[in-house]
Homo-oligomer: A and B are copies of this chain.
Amino acid sequence: MRRPTIYDVAERAGVSKSLVSLVLRDSPKVSAAKRAAVLSAVAELDYTPSRLAAGLAGTRTRSIGVVIDDFSNLWFVEALSGLRASLGAEGYALSVADARLNEHLGIDPLDAFRALRVDGVVLAGEASASAVARSGAPAVVLGTRGVTAPGVPIVASDEVEGGRIATRHLIELGHCAIACVSAPGASATERERGYVETMAEAGLKPAVVRAKATDERAARAAIAPTFEGAGAGAGTDSHADAKSNEWMPVPTAIFAVNDPMAVGVIGAAQYAGFSVPADISVVGYDDSPLAEYDMISLTSISGDPRELGEAAGETLIALIAGTSAESRIFPPRIALRGSTAVILRP
């Protein structure tokens, strides 16, 4: 009942183990007849080559590790599919881990991948720069410009520009009192910067509320005080009697640095009696599946995550091949939906 090895296959096919190995790595210099014999022996024995042995013996493992910053930010699903497309074409197997996957072993994912001798690493989302630097393998940072390390190219969308696009969109709709709900982290900081710059250029006063975390709840907690005392009835004309607070009038538009936070902002606004988009327009970021839900219909900014993933894969391939790979920054787009509208009472 032993697991079949390359020798079993060789014997069955009447060839040498080396020839079997060549077939498995589909080398061009194997005669069609022998190739067929080997393949049928493989099928008959239900043989699966051991990646462990192959990796140990060979100069590379043909596998690459993907570290996902946060599984609950669905952004990564599309990005992964892009990585799959480009890296798969080159025959690489992907293996994913989140930042906390094996933390119980006191092992960060980069060490885990190092132990597996992956040929390269993709860091999707926020990651510690020191960790990147420490890892010996070729690496690419995907999705944020906030993490920099020497020799590690970045593939991301221009998040500052994304913040600008969001803000410009709101300004074009006639809004002046535009707030930004930001969060910790490099991406958020970039997006926020785009907002601040664009507001300043338009001669408007930027107002940033910084949430403690990057999720819905934190956003709600951060923005709620802004609505305090300003809310009214069932969302009709409630804004008319809004009390202005210390730093600015109750905003008529809010840019949240990611989609879950935007949903939190909408929740807080509704709770305070405002309706979206009639009273308050909201823009999110990432264009996640969340934004597409009919019930949410959130206008959102994003670099196409699939495109980014694909580009990151190509960059990593170049890096592994020894070509010096350069960072690539993509322009973000805006997906217009139902959470933003022209301001009615300017």
Residues of A within 8 A of B (CB): 3, 48-53, 55-56, 61, 71-72, 74, 76-77, 80-81, 84-85, 88-89, 91, 93-98, 100-105, 107, 111-112, 114-117, 136, 216, 220, 260, 263-264, 266-268, 270-271, 289-290, 292-296
**What distance in Å separates the Cβ of A120 from its nearest Cβ neighbour in chain B?**
15
Tell me whether chain A's interface is mostly helix, strand or loop, or mixed: helix
- Further pairs besides A72-B74, A264-B294, A266-B295: 10, Cβ < 8 Å: A50-B115, A53-B56, A71-B77, A80-B101, A84-B101, A84-B102, A84-B103, A88-B105, A96-B101, A263-B296
Beta-carbon contact of A72 and B289 below 8 Å: yes
Inter-chain CA distance A270–B276, complex, in Å, is 14
A267 to chain B: closest CB distance in Å? 3
Task: Collect the chain B residues with CB atoms within 8 Å of residue A216's CB.
Answer: 289, 292-294
Beta-carbon contact of B97 and A102 below 8 Å: no
Cβ of B295 and Cβ of A270 under 8 Å apart?
yes
In the A-B complex, the 6 residue pairs with the closest CB atoms: A88-B104, A267-B294, A267-B295, A52-B55, A51-B115, A52-B56
Q: Would you call B263 and A115 a contact (CB within 8 A)?
A: no
Residues of B within 8 A of A268 (CB): 294
Kindly list chain B residues whose C-beta atoms are within 8 Å of the C-beta of A117. 50-52
Shortest Cβ distance from A219 into chain B, in angstroms?
10
- How far is B117's CA from A49's CA once the two chains are assembled, in angstroms? 10
Whether A91 lies near B72 (C-beta < 8 A) is no
A264 touches B289 (CB 8 A): no
Complex alpha-carbon distance, A52 and B116, angstroms: 6
Question: Do B77 and A93 touch across chains, with their CB atoms under 8 A apart?
Answer: no
A279→B282 CA distance, assembly (Å): 27
Question: Could you tell me if B48 and A115 are in contact, using CB atoms closer than 8 angstroms?
Answer: yes
Q: State A103–B294 Cα separation when bound (angstroms).
A: 31
Chain B residues whose C-beta falls within 8 Å of the C-beta of A290 in the assembled complex: 290
- Distance A290 CA – B268 CA, assembled complex (angstroms): 16
List of B residues within 8 angstroms of A115 by Cβ: 48-51
Q: A77-B71, A84-B104, A104-B88 are in contact. Are A220 and B294 (CB under 8 A)?
A: yes
Known A-B contacts A48-B115, A56-B52, A294-B268; A104 and B80 likewise in contact (beta carbons under 8 Å): no
**A262 vs B107: C-alpha distance when bound (angstroms):** 39
